[in-house]
Amino acid sequence: MASGFSGLSGTASDETGPVTVDDAATFLANFNDGAIGVFEATRFAYGRKNAIRIEINGSLGSLAFDFEDMNVLHYFDATESAETAGFRRIVVTEPEHAYVANWWPAGHGLGYEHGFTHQAVDLINAIARNEPATPTFADGLQVQKVLDAVERSSVARAGWTSV
């Protein structure tokens, strides 16, 4: 851990103090089905405000999402010919896309706060239909087990740790 970093807003400060959180973390994961994962979190990515980015790459293509551009998906179809292949920018603000029909006219983006509304509606609808809500507490526990394994592996400098 570094100490004295205080430039989260992109400006430096002479004021320093002890840092009690990890400044950066990375880990690799092997999934049961053979997939691999690379995870990174950092406070040092200047210019990033809330870049929660998820990218999935497979044998037939790729899909990417970035929270800083939350109304867009980037999709690559690996089955296309090399002549026309490339990432497509899919703006997900048409009524056919999940949740959008309940808000604004087509083309009007949804914001940060709408995600919380959708979570509450999904929970209430699951309860009303007597169906399990997702994510579950078991899902949250699994996430905590992964984070615990990452921390134990880091402290012990042990390499791979099973979850």
pTM: 0.70
Please tell me the predicted confidence (pLDDT) of residue 16. 80
Task: Dihedral sign for Cα 40, 46, 50, 53, please.
Answer: negative
Average pLDDT over residues 101-125: 86
pLDDT classification of 8: cutoffs 50, 70, 90: very low
Token pair in block for residue 55? 């990218």
pLDDT for 146 equals 93
CA 113 to chain centre: 16
Give the number of other CB atoms < 10 A from CB of residue 52.
Answer: 11
**Using CA of residue 96, residue 97, residue 100, residue 106, what is the dihedral sign?**
negative
For residue 33, give the nearest of 52, 58, 55, 54 by alpha carbon. 58
100 pLDDT band, cuts 50/70/90, is confident
Task: Identify the pLDDT of residue 72.
Answer: 93
